[in-house]
Amino acid sequence: MLLLALALALQTTPPGEDAVDPYLQSNANAGATPFTGTAMLAAFHGRAGIDRIADDLVTRIVADPRIADIFKGQDEVRLRRLLKEQFCYILNGGCAYSGRTMREGHRNLGLQTADVGALIEDLQAAMRTERVAFHAQNRFLAKLAPMKRAVVER
Ligand code: HEM
């Protein structure tokens, strides 16, 4: 208990990011179990490819007229960092995920099913631009699909 309190108290805010309320960090917060082996990491062109896809995704979603308003005033630096970590963790790229759970991270955003559809389309465009093989795109999307339940509010 003391160790937990200490760990929470010691959480620091990375440069350029807004502070968030302390939470327990765990890979389990990523919302999916990682792939095994290296095939998916290779299909996404390694850590560099994952970073390019996450960066491209954020660039697309903040400019996507269907969902751009949702990102106004949000911490884009933190979002970029955590999407890279989450994707890298799930693709078995050797990263740890240090963000909140999908439910906590999207609480009070009022997200609807259509918002998830728009984000997934933007992710597909980012993966296409990186020339990720179609079957690998779909295997990754299948990992993300169950997260819809946690991010959509009704
Ligand atoms: C499966 C789909 C999704 C995944 C994998 C995902 C992933 C993430 C991650 C990793 C974070 C960071 C959590 C943290 O701050 O600790 C986050 C935050 C956020 N996400 Fe998503 N997300 C998804 C769907 C969506 C959708 C559909 C929208 C809106 C259209 C959205 C908008 C946001 C916003 C605005 C934040 C920042 C919240 C804040 O700064 O407090 N997300 N998301």
Write out the binding residues: 106
* Closest-lying ligand 1 atom to the alpha carbon of residue 85: 10
Q: What is the pLDDT of residue 9?
A: 65
Q: 26-151, what's its fold?
A: Globin-like (1.10.490)
Ligand 1 centroid to 45 CA: how many Å? 23
Q: Is the CB of 90 under 6 A from ligand 1?
A: no
Mutate to test the pocket of ligand 1, among 58, 95, 106 (most ligand atoms within 8 A of CB): 106
Q: Is the CB of 122 under 6 A from ligand 1?
A: no
pTM, two decimal places:
0.96
Higher-confidence residue: 153 or 6? 153
* Closest-lying ligand 1 atom to the alpha carbon of residue 70: 35
The backbone torsions φ and ψ at residue 3, rounded to the nearest 5 degrees and listed phi first, read -65, -40
What digits encode the pLDDT tens for the residues 130-150?
Answer: 999 999 999 999 999 999 999
* Closest-lying ligand 1 atom to the alpha carbon of residue 148: 1
Please give the mean pLDDT across all residues of the chain. 95
Tally of CB atoms within 10 A around 82: 20
- Residues contacting residue 67 through CB under 8 Å, at least 6 positions apart: 61, 115, 118, 119
Domain layout of the chain by residue ranges: 26-151
Contact status, residue 64 vs residue 118, Cβ threshold 8 Å = yes
Distance, in Å, from the CA atom of 96 to the CA atom of 82, rounded to the nearest integer, reads: 10
